[in-house]
Structure 1
């Protein structure tokens, strides 16, 4: 085997001793074998290190590192540390409680052998409880290209970019890293920034990753109204808008979408933060303020209208 891995898998972990071994075995079962898996310990206080000792000793492709204090505690800091350690030409982020399809690396590497694309996105499905290992090994799937022209769909989550559902060429991270103070939507902010800078890729219609649903996940905490996760999402939106402005990609449709979303983040003053960051002419400022303050009434009327239409049908 080549001593230099072609793929670097970066896995941050924090107190997931009850899940991580199953995730690592899914990595070990990959049909593509030229990889390294860099496990970054984010300050575990459980027995994670003891649980994974056997697999570390058996398979030298796994590396276990403590996050350095120069990186902020959390997923973004761990992943940035992993990026600095990575030796592979391709980068992929796996979580410590999920399951990768055995063909994940094989199929993505094959797609990325095309020099015209810089990332390969695939389908991520979710599961609860015990995982069903009845994998579909078919290699027949459709695909479509993704580029900066799709940025609005990406930002609106019409084209989802989950953190563990993309393999990237390492070049994508030369000038782009995770914002380490973000504790939610950090991948959404980074990935949209990478794509808005001109990198293009491919999306394949095949499930290659399976996310475990449980209340202690970042996503579970966000939907349970965790204040830290919600503040992070508001901060990520502000950063996305600033980047779009810099890249001359901020359209009225995108701005309207985020101003409407800011209704959910009043406690974080998101609407005023958005407007203040854009340095708009007075007329445009007043136009968006009028739009924002009328939104609750408009949404209420629209809801009544939809209910009436449903009753008629």
Structure 2
């Protein structure tokens, strides 16, 4: 255990006045004392900065920054910039609308034994009022990457605390993504972790708020930016799983890509059609079943140029094929 380690919390915020005070209060009430909270404002036009600055005046463990103009706008960019400002040996990103339970930091600190690079905890999914708690599904596993990719392990940004030394000099959050940021980030870091290098805590240590303005709610319709981010992330995992000979993730990625392609065609999302189609064709050559799937897919795309093929169940046919 790293008994006296400094714990750095990084919180990006944009027009978060409705929930920010609760989030920062939950940090201030931690049972563990040696922490810092880096708040990075993304150009808020509400009272978010004033709220954060009031906490900083009362407690010098809160540090407030503005995202530099030279960096892209967005939470990912703020998370990366915030990481660069940390002075702790442990880093945990947190969202401005979530809530830490009092033992959040102390419990995670205690789990950082020798060789552990990251600690994962459970939490509660809640409604906007932090009510109707539903425990996130967390369990002990030696297949962290696979179980997370398949969404058997329910993780959010707040779930994972990292040794800073493990992250230093590595690419952090992808600032071009509009959705699936933590999914892309976590899968990239989880893929080759040994069982000894992570610790899973099944206790619930935070509250994850779902509300009408959350991306989960906004994604109910077809959002082109979100779908492009999803396609990028799944394609990266498709290639990654092939490289690591992970047939479970490869086949799951393939089916997800077929589903995304079907929706892109139905919504005339031409750029995503091209990206997904090319990504699939480039990576379906290694097995006989993959070659068969690529031949069917090529014919489907050619047909779609002549007439709308989405009245046919072509996606169901292709998703039945295990390509690896």
TM band (smaller chain): 0.7 to 0.9
Q: Distance in 2 between the 1:155 and 1:35 partners? A: 31
Q: In 2 relative to 1, CA 171–276 (structure 1 residues): closer, same or farther, beyond 3 Å?
A: farther
- Asked whether 1:122 is paired with 2:141, we answer no
**Change in CA separation of 1:143 and 1:260 when aligned onto 2, cut-off 3 Å:** closer
- Given candidates 211, 215, 223, the residue that maps to 1:214 is 211
TM-fit CA distance, 1:284? 5.5
- Tell me, yes or no, if the aligned pair for 1:38 and 1:82 is still in contact at 8 Å: yes
User: Can you list the C-alpha shifts for 1:139-173, whole angstroms capped at 9, x where unaligned?
Assistant: xxx96355xx4322221111233111111111231
Gaps of 5+ in 1: 135-141, 302-313
Partner of 2:73: 73
- The equivalent position to 1:196 in structure 2, one of 187, 191, 198, is 191
| 1:98-152 deviation line (CA, Å, top 9, x unaligned) | 111110000000001x112211111121212433699xxxxxxx96355xx4322
CA contact (8 A) 1:260 1:295 kept: no
**Aligned runs of 1:93-132 on 2, under 5 Å?**
93-112=93-112, 114-131=113-130
For 2:282 and 2:82, the matched residues in 1 are separated by: 32
In the alignment, what sits opposite 1:184?
179
Which consecutive unaligned segments of at least 5 residues does structure 2 have?
265-271, 301-312
Of the structure 1 ranges 28-37 and 160-169, higher mean CA displacement relative to structure 2 is found in: 160-169
The separation in 2 between residues aligned to 1:194 and 1:300, in whole angstroms, is 27
Is the Cα contact below 8 Å between 1:121 and 1:167 reproduced in 2?
yes
Moved over 4 A (4+): 281-285, 290-295, 297-301
Match of 1:161 among 155, 159, 180: 155
Judged with a 3 Å threshold, the aligned counterparts in structure 2 of structure 1 residues 273 and 158 are, in CA distance, closer, same or farther, namely farther
In 2, Cα distance between equivalents of 1:110 and 1:295: 51
Q: How far 1:18 moved relative to its partner?
A: 1.2
**Count of residue pairs brought into register by the alignment:** 286
How far apart, in 2, do the equivalents of 1:169 and 1:143 lie? 21
Corresponding residue of 1:296 = 315
In the TM superposition, what are the counterparts of 1:16-35 in structure 2 within 5 Å? 16-35=16-35
1: CA distance between counterparts of 2:35 and 2:28?
A: 10
TM-score normalised by L of structure 2: 0.79
Distance in 2 separating the partners of 1:92 and 1:52: 18
State the distance in 2 between where 1:160 and 1:96 align: 19
